[in-house]
Amino acid sequence: MKEYILPVRDLVVHPGLTVPIFVDSPLAVSCIKTATSKQQKIVLCPQKNWGTPSKATDLYPIGTLGNIAQVLNMPDGAIHAIIKTTDVVELSDISCTNNIFTGDIKPLPILDDSTFEQTIALRDKVADTMESLSSHHKFQTEKLQAIIKNYPMPAFVDSVMQMSHFDTEAAVNVLKINNWREKLIAILEQLTLIIETEKIEDNISLRVRDQMEKGQKQAILQEKMKAIQREMGEDGEESDVLSLRSKIEKSAMPKEAKEKAMSELRRMRAMSPMSQEGGLLKTYLEELLAMPWNKADKTPIDLTKAKEILDSEHSGMLPVKERILEHIAVMKKTGKNRGSILCFVGAPGVGKTSLCKSIATALGRKYCRISLGGISDESHFRGHRKTYIGAQCGRIMDALKRCKTNNPVIVLDEIDKMGKDWRGDPESALLEILDPEQNKSFRDHYLEVDFDLSNVLFIATANSLNMSSALKDRMEIIEIPGYNEEDKVKITREHLIKRAAEDNGWAVDKITISDDSIKHLIREYTSEQGVRELQREISTLLRRKLLKDNGEDVKTDFTEELIDDLLSVHKNANISSKIGFGAHA
């Protein structure tokens, strides 16, 4: 005949004990009422979890058989029952019908070796172990004395398990054992495990307490220091923290960057105001706040004005200016920096860098030039991590910070002169910066947050095509040829004379020079494709004339003879220096 099974939570009972049971779940109440009405025994079976069991696998296949001695029905429908346990039983063929568990039982007899010397010694050892733990909150000294002196073996074992809060799995394992000696050994193992666990917990608690006391001491000292600073009118630290917090909350940085900033601000506030790391974190937060997250130049693009600016500042170069205007027209239409990156290639002095500056003026944007000559470390672009001494953000982020806008014109000057060594390949970082599909989330190693570079107009310059194929593939190469003699004469008329006059304190209307004189100056004193050397020679003419006229800019007609007279000393000095250098070499 199947016996009724009462699932119980966190309760494993040994036979020979009278156990009070309080149940309020409909399943348990129904089980007790049915067993009582049919005058059958009931099996107290521990369940594997704290939920309401619904199938056989929710129960352990072992329990304690007992008689229902008394049932007291409570007003709220709960039941208070007293059960006298008789045997340990093994359960099989468990089923659940109408929310009542039943199953077949097989008694598991316990060998009574409680009078053996080894068993008595083990019991004393368990009692001593419990006594050594009596100071812990889980154990009560007065009950231990009763356990040691008066309880029989079943009650002793069961009380030790209940008082030491064995988990259900361990208690079931003890219940399965068929002799008292082995049961006591298993209990002793569990108690030893509790002792070691308590030692670890005590050590952890001691460390936490020490750290808390140390932290409280520092907090008290910091509060005292703040109070002293307030009395002296030097309460700057707290105001700095509050100011930074306010700036972070009001800033337009994205969510990721704002969370990073608030995290670092909390770290900074927890540190001593005199610590070095606190100063580094403050500098980092100021760098984050200085970045132009949503600041952009809103000047509308005017193609007519752009053409006028390019024509007024650069003579000739019609194909080049036409391509630039095409690029600007696409930007006006799309509102974005569509198209490839422009790269101006030409000899020194042909006007590559000044052309880039004219583009920035035509667009109404900020202008920043980054010289790449000799750069061989990718940290120049990506920045240094904060763990390094003297860490700072990369040159791209620094340029944006100085421009105070996220859509400036950034000129990568002399891109063909980048180096490469053991510190890294700067070209790989530059490829990411110039790729519109990747630079939307450029991450600087110092800032450690993504920044959108897609609004920046990058323009590169180079003296030659001595670049990798990958880098050339990222850019549209626009070659700027050298000037012929007629172009140089025109540039001199429109730009160079005026610039030299301003640099040397001359009034432009006091300078007279014919085209033939300019050609003579070009043929005899310059030998370049650009006009940089020609600019220097004109400045030399004006300086030497000022020297002859006692520093006065006397109206002068610079004829070929006067040019030779003024530049002869200069020319002879250059020739002599070259000869002398060669002889010395």
- Measured in degrees and rounded to the nearest 5, phi and psi for residue 574 equal -65, -40
Residue 576 has pLDDT above 50, yes or no: no
Residue 426 has pLDDT above 80, yes or no: yes
Q: What is the pLDDT of residue 214?
A: 76
Amino acid letter at 108?
L
Overall average pLDDT of the 146-171 stretch? 78
Residue 368's pLDDT band, with cuts at 50, 70 and 90, is very high
C-alpha 444/C-alpha 373 separation (Å) is: 21
Q: What is the pLDDT of residue 583?
A: 36
Residue 500 has pLDDT above 80, yes or no: yes
CB atoms within 10 A of CB 474: 20
Q: What is the pLDDT of residue 11?
A: 85
C-alpha 206/C-alpha 200 separation (Å) is: 10
Overall average pLDDT of the 143-155 stretch? 67
Residue 135 token pair: 């100071």
Residue 113's pLDDT band, with cuts at 50, 70 and 90, is confident
Residue 571's pLDDT band, with cuts at 50, 70 and 90, is low
Q: How far apart are the first and last CA of the chain?
A: 119
Residue 1 token pair: 């005949």
Which of residues 373 and 514 earns the better pLDDT score? 514
Residue 139 has pLDDT above 60, yes or no: no
Residue 331 has pLDDT above 50, yes or no: yes
CA atoms within 13 A on the CB side of 116: 11
Picking from 418, 409, 342, 356, the residue whose alpha carbon sits closest to that of residue 381 is 418
Cα angle 305, 361, 332 (rounded to 5 degrees) comes to: 60
Gyration radius of the chain over CA positions: 46
Which of residues 218 and 481 earns the better pLDDT score? 481
Helix (H) or strand (E) holding 257: helix 255-270
Q: What is the pLDDT of residue 411?
A: 92
Residue 32 token pair: 């007790």
Overall average pLDDT of the 438-443 stretch? 84
pLDDT > 90 fraction of the chain, expressed in percent and rounded:
7
Q: What is the dihedral of CA 161, 167, 173, 176, to 10 degrees?
A: 60
Residue 231's pLDDT band, with cuts at 50, 70 and 90, is low
